Amino acid sequence: METNNTEARKIILSGIQPSGKLTLGSYLGAIKNWVRLSDNYDCYFMMADMHAITVRQEPATLRKTVLEQIAEYIACGLDPDSCALFIQSQVPAHAELSWVLSCYTMFGELSRMTQFKDKSTKHTENINAGLFTYPALMAADILLYQADLVPVGDDQKQHVEICRDIAQRFNGVYGDTFKIPEPFIPKVGARIMSLQEPTMKMSKSDTTAGGCVYLLDSPDELMRAFKRAVTDSDTEIRYDPAEKPGVSNLMQIYSSVTDKSFPEIEAEFAGKGYGAFKSTVGEAVVETLRPIREKTEELFANKDYLAEIYRAGAQKAGYAANKTLRKVYKRVGFVQ
Ligand code: AQP
């Protein structure tokens, strides 16, 4: 990874769990911003497979999803020559630092994490320790790279905040070791909601028919999902998430893929019905995702190329991560 000689470039780390197929929410809330930021930062983007196993995954599906995800990252516009695209489990420093940080993470603060509360309600048969200590692993992911910025959707903000608390606690005991990262949350698209239950986040693992749209859905599947999207019994197209969550979510999506502002969208659809609005949003999404789907299919067919990318990514990431890990081991008193 090239760095500017006169001034070190700032660093970004982010990742997505391969816990299912990437959704429009993963793209608009995360990857789209990674692409925007990637020209100006040194970037590390991972397939967070270690996080994914906090919920049971079928091994063959997990392997396939990870490979598909690498292809999708590249198809969305990330340049594997300038960004480190890597698989989390291939950089052992993540697991190693996670253990150290879990000794500087408090039971009380982990208990307040909304993702833990949500997931332990959803998966009552498997409330495992990994689900609970997930934020310590996420803190390790970020702090290993001395990241300045963590581009995430709104739902992950709490995890970046606990990461900052853990880093400050550690620095407070041992002196400056970790850079304190900032979350970067997009103004539009930070929380894309389910098309069927617009008060709930669009999630990869949601099984409600038509609730999620995926990056690799065909144009027909996308149009069907948008035409069936839940709105309300009113007729006005107006941004009002409390009163009109379905319409507001569609406006968020439309704004995010066209860069039009909410007043522009309201003016565009004034006096038009929901039917026309939903079709126009669907068509805009189809056109945004078409090149991503086509490129992903092409890349996914070339497994050797994908292997080259993730091996090179793990090497670049491992180099940076091990530098931090060595410093941490020294600070805590492990014999060198
Ligand atoms: N609906 C969304 N709107 C905006 N941003 C979103 N993100 C995910 N869903 C939305 C952002 O994508 C990044 C990757 O998320 P993740 O897969 O690591 O974790 P998650 O938030 O738990 O994603 P899912 O889809 O809800 O996965 P499951 O169903 O497995 O729990 C993060 O930056 C997230 O904010």
Collapsing DSSP to helix, strand or coil, 43 comes out as strand
Q: Tell me which DSSP letter residue 289 carries.
A: H
187 given a catalytic annotation: no
The 8 Å CB, 24+ separation contacts for 128-132 are 128/54, 130/53, 130/54, 131/54, 131/55
Mean pLDDT of 250-274: 95
Q: Locate tokens 């008193």: which residue?
A: 333
More confident residue, 154 or 289: 289
Provide the pLDDT for residue 166.
98
* Percent residues over pLDDT 70 in the chain: 98
Could you state, in order of their start, the residue ranges of all structural domains in the chain? 6-184+302-332, 219-297
pLDDT interval class at 7 (50, 70, 90): low
CA 20 to ligand 1: nearest atom: 30
- pLDDT surpassing 50 at residue 2: no
Q: What is the number of other CB atoms lying within 10 angstroms of the CB of residue 260?
A: 17
Question: Per residue in 114-133, pLDDT tens?
Answer: 999 998 998 899 999 999 99
Any atom of ligand 1 within 6 Å of the Cβ of 25: yes
Domains 6-184+302-332 and 219-297 fall in the same CATH topology:
no
The closest of 301, 319, 10 to 179, measured between CA atoms, is 10
Mean pLDDT of 294-317: 97
- Given pLDDT bands bounded at 50, 70 and 90, which one contains residue 3? very low
For residue 184, report the distance from its CA to the centre of ligand 1, in Å. Answer: 14
pLDDT over 90, % of the chain: 90
Q: In one letter, which amino acid is 258?
A: T
* Cβ partners under 8 Å of residue 160, min gap 6: 142, 150, 152, 181, 182, 183
The pTM of the full predicted model, rounded to 2 decimals, is 0.94
Question: Can you tell me the mean pLDDT for 40-47?
Answer: 97
- Is 316 an annotated catalytic residue? no
Tell me, using a 6 A CB cutoff, whether residue 205 lines ligand 1.
yes
CATH 1.10.10.60 holds for 219-297: no
Q: Is the pLDDT of residue 4 over 70?
A: no
Cα–ligand 1 centroid distance for 118 (angstroms): 13
Is 202 a pocket residue for ligand 1 (Cβ < 6 Å)? yes
β-strand 149-151 against 182-184: which pairing, if any?
parallel
- pLDDT at residue 143 tops 80: yes
Other residues' Cβ atoms within 10 Å of the Cβ of residue 247 = 26
Q: Tell me the one-letter amino acid at 12.
A: I
CA of 16 to the centre of ligand 1 (A): 7
User: Is 211 in a helix, a strand, or coil?
Assistant: coil
Whose Cα sits closest to atom 11 in ligand 1?
A: 153
Here the tokens at position 305 are 């190329």
256 Cα–ligand 1 center, Å = 16
User: Which atom of ligand 1 lies nearest, measured to the CA of 119?
Assistant: 31
Q: Which of 119, 122, 295, 327 is catalytic?
A: 119
Residues 189/28, Cβ–Cβ less than 8 Å: yes
Distance 225 CA to ligand 1 centre (A): 19
Q: What is the rounded distance in angstroms from the CA atom of residue 244 to the CA atom of residue 249?
A: 9
Tell me the best of 12, 13, 14, 17 to mutate to test the pocket of ligand 1, counting ligand atoms within 8 Å of each CB and taking the most: 17
- Active-site annotation holds for 303: no
pLDDT score recorded for residue 123: 85
Which one is catalytic: 201, 227, 303, 327? 201
CA-based nearest residue to 8, from 146, 166, 180: 146
pLDDT tens column, 68-116:
999 999 999 999 999 999 999 999 999 999 999 999 999 999 999 999 9
Cβ neighbours around 2 below 10 Å, total = 8
**pLDDT above 60 (res 56):** yes
What separation in Å is there between the alpha carbon of 230 and the centre of ligand 1? 21
List 32, 204, 244, 278, catalytic entry = 204
What is residue 192's predicted lDDT score, i.e. its pLDDT?
96
Assess contact for 216 and 296: CB atoms under 8 A.
yes
Give the per-residue pLDDT at 190: 86
pLDDT at 1: 45
Query: Quick one: 6-184+302-332 is in which CATH superfamily?
Result: HUPs (3.40.50.620)
Q: What mean pLDDT value characterizes the chain?
A: 95
- pLDDT of the residue at 122: 85
How does pLDDT run across 179-224, given as a tens digit for each residue?
999 999 988 888 999 999 999 999 998 888 889 999 999 999 999 9
